[in-house]
Each structure stands twice: as structure tokens, then as C-alpha cells.
């Protein structure tokens, strides 16, 4: 297929790359003391793997096009590429001793500080997202290795805070709202975040209190009132419907054990219709494929079906995989949320969680490139100084949202998932995901790809809710 001349060129390139990698192997092998006891194939040293990214990935957009058809998309992409190349080159110049590692300590400090102190003025924009803020910080702290270190006092304070957002909409229905203002209505996404926070901290000591405060019947009636004939859910009374509302509703329904025919009617049909021509999911029928909605769409289906293989009867699994892997960019290593959009750290979860799920569904060892995603997160999403937190891309500031979803993404890079068949039969597919670390030395906690909380927490919560 390829003429000889280019084969030569290619061979030269490969030889050059091998030469470079060979050289750096000499340099790095002396410094690497304890290597991972990884279960899968041997991994490239991070230094070598960054070098490979720079050597083998052409920029996404060839210069030729830039000259002929300049546009906003091309300019923005080239800007990011230039920026990221600079960062990677800088790290390579410093040598293999200075390749960034996971700096869990400073990130834990960052989330602990904001969990325990009132929000600073510049973050008041988050005001309507109070339950989300609690969940993001709490979950990031667990993912970064602090799961066992949350004290009883802190847990009690979080329970108080979460229940301060409880709203009775009428005598019969209620849920959690986004802020403590009186005008706020119960909101599905806020309730999802509130519930996940409780899922994370529930224990022998506090479950009775959580059960007593949580009015499951009111939530049940409220969700029924939001249910639409086409299967979708309103985000709140007279609100809008989208895949996110469906996913959040199904998480709540599954966790509280209130799944019934009325709530799940037409859900599958509606979700399936949201997979679009590109293979990903949009927010609604025929909307553009988007990482956030793909996460919600696939997980909503997993919260409805009994076995992973059933997925093949519902959606085009292969085109979802094809769309998912195209979200990863060769130069940057991170994911974009949509075709022709820029890389962004939070898609390490929205798209990154799809990979372990689809690996389980297809029985494949690895679909995305974990190593290169990890390079992007460590080099481009954390600040080099003493301040913690994660961000979207190098030019941005750290925030709670990205701190949580980049942390989870980093955990996915360092783990693989599998299904516990007994749990699947007993408690349902969505509760049956288990995980193991790829590298035993990795300090990060394991994350559930369906619920995005510490692995095992959803099932534990469900069992506490049944306990007397």
C-alpha cells in the first residue's frame, strides 16, 4: 500500500525513536529503584513515554491546513499543542529524576482546607452548587487516599450540612436543593450529589441517623412527579429533561432501592435514542455527542440492565468505543469532550471511566492509553509549586470540580476493573464492579466507574439502608 520511499522515511523515524528511547533507557534504568509489580505488560518509564509522545504524535492539525483554512478551532488547538509541547519538553530537559509524580499530600491539603473552612469570596459563584461542592471535595479526598482518615466529627458536620439542603416541595414530595435559599426547588442533580456524599461517609456509627433523616418515600414520590411519558426525567418541577437527569435519577433510585416499573418505564428506549451518528451520546435525541452525556448515557443503561452483554442488544457498542478512543489526543495524551474540541482534565473521568466499563463489556484488557493520559494529568493538570488541586489545562486555575474528576481519572489510569458475578446476581450489575491496582505502590484509592465514589461504597450504603 505504501510506496517504498515513505517506508524508508518511516523506518528512519522509527530508528531515530528507538535510538532516543534506547539512550534514555540507559539513563533511567539506573535511577529507577523499585519498579511496579504490575500484573500487566511491562510499562515504559514515564520519561520515555513522554518522549515517545513528542516523537510519534504529529500535531492534530497539519500546518498546511492552517495556512489554507485558518479558523477558530485550528488556532485554539495549535495554541494548546504549543503550550503542552513546551511543558513536556521542559520536563524532559530536567531529566528523568524530575518527571512529576502524584503529589497526593498537597492535594489532600487543598481539599481538606476547603472542606473545613467557609468558601472564599472568589468561589461564591459555587453558591447554587453547595451539595456538589461537598461531594467533589469529599470524594477527591477519598480518591487521594484519605478515605480512612475522615473523623467522626467531620462526618457529623457533613451530615448536618447535607441535610440542611433538604426541601419539602409539598407535603408529599421532597428532595435536596442546590443551595439553602428559600426559593430553591429540590433538584435531581443536587440530590444526586447530596446522596453520594452520604454514600461516602455512611458507617456503623451514623447510618441510623442518616436513615432517620432521609425521607425515601418523599423522594420516591418526587421522582415519580418528574417522570415523563417518553421515559425521561425533568431535572426539577417544570424543568428540562436530559441524559444527565436520567442518570442522576437512576443512581438515586438504585441506591435507595426504590426501582419500580413506573420509574423505569421507557428509560432504555429513550437512552438508546440519545446515541448519535458519531457513536457517543448527546444530552437529548440528536444532540451532539459529548463526553459528559456519554458517561451518563452508558452508566444509566448499566443501572437498568442485568448483564454487561445485554448492552450489545441495545446500542452500537463498537461505534461508542471508536468515538471514545478518538477523544484521546496523541500529542497531549488527555481527552477532549467532543470531536474537534480541546483537551480538558475533567474528561479523564467522563471519558476515562467509559474505558474500564467497556473493557469489562468487551472482555478486553485495555482500550484507552492509560499511560499517556496519566502523563497529561501529572504534567499539565497539577501545579508544580506547593499548592494542590487539579485543573482543566495548564493555562487554567485549579477548582473543586476538576480536582475531583481529574483525581478519579488518575485512579482509573492506575487500576483495572472487573465484575463480581455473585454481587451482580444478588444486587444488580451496577453494584458489582470491583477494581485492583495496576501498581501496588500507587497511593490513590480505587474508584467505582458507575457511581464515581470509592469502590464498594454504593453496595455498603445499599446494605445499610436495608438494615434495622
Active site residues: 290, 338, 341, 344, 346-347, 392, 399, 402
DSSP type of residue 186: P
Site for other proteins in 105-134 (CB under 8 A): 126, 129
Whole-angstrom Cα distance, residue 112 to residue 233?
35
- What DSSP letter does each residue of 11-69 carry, written as one string? HHHHHHHHHHHHHHHHHHHHH--S----SSSPPPPHHHHHHHHHHHPPPSS-HHHHHHS
Which residue number, 38 or 83, has a Cβ lying nearer to Zn ion? 83
Among candidates 92, 91, 65, which has minimal Cα distance to 78? 65
Whole-angstrom Cα distance, residue 390 to residue 377?
8
Which residue number, 160 or 269, has a Cβ lying nearer to other proteins? 269
Nearest distance from residue 325's CB to other proteins, in Å? 4
Nearest distance from residue 395's CB to Zn ion, in Å? 13
Query: Should residue 155 be labelled a site residue for other proteins when binding is judged by CB under 8 A?
Result: no
Nearest distance from residue 350's CB to other proteins, in Å? 12
Whole-angstrom Cα distance, residue 177 to residue 170?
14
Among 72, 212, 386, 466, which residue interacts with other proteins (rule: CB under 8 A)? 72
Nearest distance from residue 50's CB to other proteins, in Å? 12
**From 56-64, 156-164, 191-199, 252-260, span contacting other proteins (CB under 8 A):** 56-64
Confirm if 166 and 226 have CB atoms less than 8 A apart: no
Query: Should residue 366 be labelled a site residue for other proteins when binding is judged by CB under 8 A?
Result: yes
Query: Should residue 54 be labelled a site residue for other proteins when binding is judged by CB under 8 A?
Result: no
What ranges in 142-182 are assigned the alpha helix state H?
Answer: 152-163
- What DSSP letter does each residue of 339-387 carry, written as one string? TTPPB-TTHHHHTTTHHHHHHHHHT-S-SS-HHHHHHHHHHHSB-SSS-
Angle between helices 4-31 and 46-56 (to 10 degrees): 160
**Cell triple for residue 267?**
428509560
Q: What is the CA radius of gyration of the chain?
A: 23
User: Which entry of other proteins, Zn ion, none binds 346, CB below 5 to 8 A by partner kind?
Assistant: Zn ion
Nearest distance from residue 364's CB to other proteins, in Å? 5
Could you list the residues that contact Zn ion (CB under 5 A)? Answer: 344, 346, 392
Residues that bind other proteins (rule: CB under 8 A) add up to a total of: 63
Among 47, 329, 390, 433, which residue interacts with other proteins (rule: CB under 8 A)? 329
Return residues touching other proteins (CB under 8 A).
Answer: 1-3, 5-7, 9-10, 14, 52-53, 56-57, 60-65, 68-69, 71-74, 126, 129, 276-278, 282-290, 316, 319, 321-322, 325-326, 328-330, 333, 337-341, 362, 364-369, 372, 401
Amino acid at each position: 500500500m505504501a510506496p517504498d520511499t515513505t517506508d524508508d522515511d518511516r523506518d528512519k523515524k522509527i530508528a531515530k525513536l528507538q535510538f532516543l528511547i534506547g539512550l534514555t533507557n540507559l539513563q533511567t534504568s539506573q535511577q529507577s529503584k523499585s519498579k511496579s509489580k504490575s500484573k500487566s505488560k511491562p510499562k515504559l518509564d514515564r520519561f520515555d513515554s513522554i518522549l515517545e509522545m513528542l516523537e510519534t504524535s504529529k500535531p492534530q492539525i497539519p500546518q498546511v491546513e492552517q495556512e489554507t483554512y485558518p479558523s477558530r478551532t485550528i488556532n485554539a488547538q495549535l495554541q494548546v499543542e504549543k503550550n503542552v509541547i513546551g511543558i513536556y519538553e521542559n520536563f524532559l530537559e530536567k531529566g528523568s529524576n524530575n518527571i512529576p509524580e502524584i503529589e497526593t499530600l498537597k492535594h489532600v491539603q487543598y481539599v481538606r482546607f476547603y472542606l473545613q473552612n467557609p468558601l472564599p469570596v472568589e468561589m461564591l459563584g459555587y453558591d447554587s452548587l453547595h451539595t456538589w461542592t461537598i461531594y467533589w471535595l469529599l470524594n477527591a479526598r477519598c480518591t487521594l487516599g484519605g478515605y480512612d482518615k475522615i473523623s467522626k466529627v467531620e462526618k457529623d458536620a457533613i451530615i448536618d450540612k447535607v441535610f440542611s439542603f433538604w426541601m419539602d416541595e409539598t407535603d408529599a414530595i421532597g428532595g435536596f436543593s442546590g443551595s439553602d435559599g428559600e426559593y430553591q426547588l429540590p433538584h435531581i442533580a443536587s440530590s444526586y450529589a447530596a446522596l453520594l456524599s452520604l454514600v461516602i461517609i455512611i458507617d456503623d456509627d451514623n447510618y441510623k441517623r442518616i436513615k432517620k433523616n432521609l425521607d425515601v418515600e418523599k423522594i420516591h414520590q418526587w421522582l415519580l412527579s418528574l417522570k415523563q411519558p417518553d421515559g425521561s426525567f425533568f431535572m426539577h418541577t417544570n424543568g428540562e429533561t436530559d441524559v444527565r437527569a436520567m442518570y442522576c435519577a437512576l443512581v438515586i433510585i438504585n441506591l435507595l432501592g426504590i426501582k419500580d416499573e413506573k420509574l423505569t418505564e421507557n428509560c432504555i428506549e429513550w437512552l438508546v435514542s440519545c446515541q448519535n451518528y458519531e457513536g457517543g451520546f448527546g444530552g437529548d435525541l440528536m444532540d451532539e455527542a459529548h463526553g459528559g452525556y456519554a458517561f451518563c448515557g452508558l452508566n444509566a443503561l448499566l443501572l437498568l440492565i442485568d448483564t454487561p452483554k445485554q448492552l450489545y442488544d441495545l446500542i452500537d457498542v463498537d461505534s461508542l468505543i471508536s468515538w471514545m478512543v478518538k477523544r484521546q489526543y496523541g500529542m497531549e495524551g488527555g481527552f477532549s469532550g467532543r470531536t474537534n474540541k480541546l483537551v480538558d482534565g475533567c474528561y479523564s473521568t467522563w471519558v476515562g471511566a467509559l474505558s474500564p466499563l467497556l473493557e469489562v463489556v468487551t472482555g478486553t484488557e485495555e482500550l484507552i492509553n492509560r499511560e499517556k493520559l496519566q502523563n497529561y494529568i501529572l504534567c499539565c493538570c497539577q501545579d508544580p509549586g506547593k499548592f494542590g488541586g487539579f485543573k482543566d489545562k495548564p493555562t487554567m486555575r485549579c477548582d473543586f470540580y476538576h480536582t475531583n474528576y481529574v483525581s478519579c481519572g488518575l485512579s482509573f489510569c492506575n487500576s483495572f476493573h472487573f465484575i463480581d458475578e455473585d454481587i451482580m446476581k444478588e444486587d444488580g450489575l451496577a453494584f458489582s464492579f470491583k477494581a485492583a491496582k495496576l501498581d501496588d505502590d500507587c497511593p490513590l484509592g480505587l474508584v467505582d466507574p458507575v457511581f464515581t465514589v470509592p469502590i464498594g461504597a454504593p453496595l455498603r450504603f445499599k446494605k445499610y439502608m436495608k438494615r434495622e
